Amino acid sequence: AQRVTQPEKLLSVFKGAPVELKCNYSYSGSPELFWYVQYSRQRLQLLLRHISRESIKGFTADLNKGETSFHLKKPFAQEEDSAMYYCALQQPGNQFYFGTGTSLTVIP
Amino acid sequence: ETGVTQSPTHLIKTRGQQVTLRCSSQSGHNTVSWYQQALGQGPQFIFQYYREEENGRGNFPPRFSGLQFPNYSSELNVNALELDDSALYLCASSAGLSNTEAFFGQGTRLTVV
């Protein structure tokens, strides 16, 4: 069965420090993984997906099939990065399985 | 181009009642998915509609049902409401079933008392 695990519910870092939000998955097929972000009082929105291999707002995520991980990283955190981050596994048909989320706070 | 809109934004229902939540998909999108997000949890997939047909369902009982209309807007109906149904209900629309971005609405906050 598919599963997405985000082990940290809360994460605080200082502005300018590196940040890593962890995500592990369990899926029998070839996974399609995404990171969604929800800023305060805004709707859930796509941050990045592994197939595009882009860097969005300074964030990157590499799919590691050996470790079944898709950790989100940014070398220098900014205050505007404070938000709720969800890792999601996409099933065929655009159906998503989400992790429980990590609330990131960047301390000025 | 309009985004995904959901109505109402909030509502309170009594246990045992029935509720209907509505979602207007983004222009050009023919696929709508519904998610339940309990407090402190990630969104959980309820079901999906593609071109007015159900196309996949998560682990939710039959009292959760849905509908998609010819204009691709959608409804989520929940019968015999239980206290545990209290949650944020999210609607997401996308253009088709292949690897496309899903756009989320703001959600409907349902409280069952």
pLDDT tens, B4-25? 999 999 999 999 999 999 999 9
- Indicate the pairing of strand A95-98 with strand A102-107: unpaired
Are A23 and A99 in contact by the 8 Å Cβ rule? The answer is: yes
Is residue B76 packed enough to be buried (19+ CB in 10 Å), middle (13-18) or exposed (0-12)?
buried
Q: Would the pLDDT of B2 be above 70?
A: no
User: What is the rounded average pLDDT for all residues in chain B?
Assistant: 93
Question: How high is the mean pLDDT in each 10-residue block of chain A (108 residues)?
Answer: 91 97 91 92 91 84 91 96 96 86 97
Task: Say yes or no for a CB contact (<8 Å) between B33 and A96.
Answer: yes
> Of A43, A95, A98, which has the smallest distance from its Cβ to B105's Cβ?
A43
pLDDT at B91: 97
Q: Would the pLDDT of B1 be above 60?
A: no
Q: Would the pLDDT of B68 be above 80?
A: yes
| SS3 call for B85 | helix
Q: In whole angstroms, give the CA distance from residue A49 to residue A60.
A: 9
pLDDT at A51: 77
Take residue A46 and report the two structure tokens written for it.
Answer: 């796509």
The alpha-carbon gap from A43 to the nearest alpha carbon of chain B, in Å, equals: 5
Query: Which residues from A are below 8 Å from B when comparing CB atoms?
Result: 4, 6, 9, 32, 43-46, 49, 51, 86, 88, 90-101
Phi, psi angle pair for B39, to nearest 5°: -60, 125
Say which range, B54-58, B74-78, B80-84, has the weakest mean pLDDT. B54-58
Nearest residue in chain B measured CA to CA from A6: B42
Residue among A26, A23, A22 at smallest CA distance from A91: A26
